[in-house]
Amino acid sequence: MITVFLGGTCNNSTWRDELMPMLDTTKIDAFNPVVENWDEAAQAEEDMHKETDDLCLYCLTPEMTGLYDIFELGLDLGKSPGKTIFCFLEERDGKTFTPTQLKGFVKMQKDVISNGGQAFDNFSDLAKFLNSYEKVKQL
């Protein structure tokens, strides 16, 4: 099984609920860090998954209000570029990024790729990548 951490926009966003059915559950074990009660145990479990999962996905949507997800993406890209995936969705639930934000996300997408990560702007391509991902076998 390939383990995938599903980081990114929270704020009652349903992007995880929409992406997960698109994933091949015979190959992919996706971890959703969103819980009803965010406490130290939930934070510790999230941190463990970010460290040990095969892939770390950060999906950013116009529903986001904070900036920490962008910081997490940068941290993981610096530590483990080969396992870092960036996805941004330009429109969600009638909300859109401003033109300036969108320009920044397009630039981030290019930079993530040039630094060894993967980047997507839609679930179709993202799910296709994840469903076809092959774990590198350690010798």
Task: Read off the pLDDT of residues 59-91 as tens digits, 9 standing for 90 and up.
Answer: 999 999 999 999 999 999 999 999 999 999 999
Kindly report the average pLDDT of the chain as a whole number.
94
- 3-class DSSP assignment, residue 58: strand
Of 1-10, 111-120, 129-138, the one with minimum mean pLDDT is: 129-138
Closest CA to 20 of 29, 10, 7, 33: 29
User: What is the Cα–Cα distance from 104 to 124, expressed in whole angstroms?
Assistant: 22
pLDDT for 117: 97
Q: Is this model's pTM higher than 0.85 or not?
A: yes
pLDDT for 97: 95
Q: Is the pLDDT of residue 137 over 70?
A: no
At 35-67, the pLDDT tens digits run 999 899 999 999 999 999 999 999 999 999 999
Of 2-11, 17-26, 58-67, 129-138, the one with minimum mean pLDDT is: 129-138
Q: Is the pLDDT of residue 96 over 80?
A: yes
Task: Assess contact for 19 and 4: CB atoms under 8 A.
Answer: no
Residues β-bridged to residue 59: 8, 87
User: What is the Cα–Cα distance from 71 to 73, expressed in whole angstroms?
Assistant: 5
pLDDT for 135: 78
Taking the domains of the chain in order of start, what are their residue ranges? 2-132
Look at domain 2-132 and name its CATH class. Answer: alpha beta
Q: Which residues contact 120 (CB under 8 A, 6 or more apart)?
A: 85, 86, 87, 126, 129
